[in-house]
Amino acid sequence: MKKQSKKQSRAFQVLIGLIELYLKTGKPIGSNTLKEHGFEALSSATIRNYFAMLEKEGLLRQPHSSGGRIPTNEAFRIYADEVLHLSELNPNVEEDFLDLELGESRNLARFLQKSAERLSAVTGYAVFLSSVRFDNDFILDIKLVGIDADRLLCVMVTDFGQILTEILPLNQKLSAFSLKRIEARIQWQVKGGEKPENLADDENDLAKHFYNEIMVRYLVRYSNFSDEDIFRTGFSTLLSYPELNDPVALATTLSLFENPTHMRLLLSDCVRAGKLSYWVGSDLAPYAAAAEGCSVIAVPYRVGQTIAGAIGILGPCRMPYRDLFGTMQFFSENLSKSLTKSLLKLKISFRHPRSTAAPYIEQTVHNLLEIKEPS
């Protein structure tokens, strides 16, 4: 539109002005309202003519016959293209992210989750983040929770702050006291300390069996991974948007989160692009067809010069793209700096999916096969 006639160029200015006013108010924009907000040189009749022209091109629509116009998803896409390189960072946003530091902590999973939560709180949108696998993590604690007579839930907490779960089969019913004694013995093998002595022989054997099963499963999961880890948060923030007040609209918007594969695919495309990327409306159809009523903005983050993952925000198509582009870039820069600084200091390496972890695996398997108990 910008490269066409003067009339088309003026129509484009009207479109951008209407979108920016709609982003602020969330209400249909009439010709008189737009005239009062930067278009005083145009008559209301002229503005209505431009509205009609833009409506024919599929960029505006009129919810009610006698009301104002609102932008279509195609119009939001044009607007995002226009302001991509005009993004501005709100000075208040800088302070929101400057204290986001990992420091001396090895709790990488909690740091990434906390970072995602902070971005969600600042932007007001749902957030999802992909991450590489960090090396030399180990199980720090194990909890056992009885589900029924045939199954146990095992919860593992790692040194890097990951929380992992496994379902363990049972061939006999365990009392709550017996389960607690078995858990204590497994924790002794993990943490050391004083060995529990109050177990019956069958409980002792069961504890050894569970310990070996848990460790083998953890090793397989840790060493052979084909997908990035995913962190997500901020679903409830979307309830504040009128477009998503309807349960059906909210459910379809969040359909992208229904399958982690969809999220990984989208974030992987951002990683491959190596720059801030965005999807508006039907752009999301290849990832989640039902999510066509929303938008996603994603940006990669790095450890040193290597891209370690990407982080995305999801919300309705009515998003303040200009501000969000600046916010996302600033957030990515701060997250990258903090991770790079801390991982170098802690001497922690990382792997992308399908890369090898042979040295770590060899040492761990050797220790595991010996099944050494703490002295």
Tens-place pLDDT, residues 86-120: 877 777 777 888 788 887 788 999 999 999 999 99
- Rounded Cα distance between 142 and 184, Å, is 9
What is the DSSP secondary structure assignment for residue 107, as one 8-state letter?
-
Share of the chain above pLDDT 70, in %: 92
Instruction: Report how far apart, in Å, the C-alpha atoms of 178 and of each of 21, 155, 227 are.
Output: 65, 18, 37
User: Which residue from 370, 372, 357 is spatially nearest to 134, judged by alpha carbons?
Assistant: 357
Q: What is the mean pLDDT of the chain?
A: 88
Instruction: Give the pair of three-digit tokens for residue 125.
Output: 């949108």
pTM of structure = 0.85
Question: What pLDDT, on a 0 to 100 scale, did the predictor assign at position 129?
Answer: 96
Question: What pLDDT, on a 0 to 100 scale, did the predictor assign at position 370?
Answer: 41
Residue with tokens 């972890």: 357
- Rounded Cα distance between 20 and 22, Å, is 5
Tens-place pLDDT, residues 185-222: 999 999 888 999 889 999 999 999 999 999 988 888 88
Q: Where in the chain is the domain with CATH 3.30.450.40?
A: 86-132+228-351
Give every CB contact of residue 277 below 8 A, 6+ residues apart in sequence. Answer: 269, 270, 297, 298, 299
Task: For domain 139-225, say whether CATH 1.10.287 is its number.
Answer: no
Tens-place pLDDT, residues 26-38: 899 999 999 999 8
Instruction: With cut-offs at 50, 70 and 90, classify the pLDDT of residue 304.
Output: very high
Question: What pLDDT, on a 0 to 100 scale, did the predictor assign at position 256?
Answer: 84
Per the CB < 8 A criterion, the answer to whether 348 and 136 are in contact is yes
| CATH of the domain spanning 6-71 | 1.10.10.10
Question: What pLDDT, on a 0 to 100 scale, did the predictor assign at position 2?
Answer: 46
Q: Where in the chain is the domain with CATH 1.10.10.10?
A: 6-71
Question: What pLDDT, on a 0 to 100 scale, did the predictor assign at position 367?
Answer: 52
Per the CB < 8 A criterion, the answer to whether 19 and 71 are in contact is yes
- Rounded Cα distance between 340 and 113, Å, is 17
Is pLDDT above 50 for 369? no
- Rounded Cα distance between 83 and 372, Å, is 61
CA geometry: angle 301, 302, 308, nearest 5 deg:
85
Question: What pLDDT, on a 0 to 100 scale, did the predictor assign at position 96?
Answer: 84
Q: Taking phi first (over 0 means left), then psi (-120 to 50 degrees means alpha), and beta for anything else, what does residue 309 get?
A: left
What is the DSSP secondary structure assignment for residue 67, as one 8-state letter?
S
Task: For domain 86-132+228-351, say whether CATH 3.90.380.10 is its number.
Answer: no
Question: What pLDDT, on a 0 to 100 scale, did the predictor assign at position 243?
Answer: 85
107: phi then psi, degrees, rounded to nearest 5: -80, 70
Per the CB < 8 A criterion, the answer to whether 323 and 90 are in contact is yes
Is pLDDT above 70 for 1? no
Tens-place pLDDT, residues 36-51: 998 999 999 999 999 9
User: Which residue from 171, 168, 173, 172 is spatially nearest to 186, judged by alpha carbons?
Assistant: 168
Is pLDDT above 80 for 333? yes
Instruction: Give the pair of three-digit tokens for residue 132.
Output: 């590489």
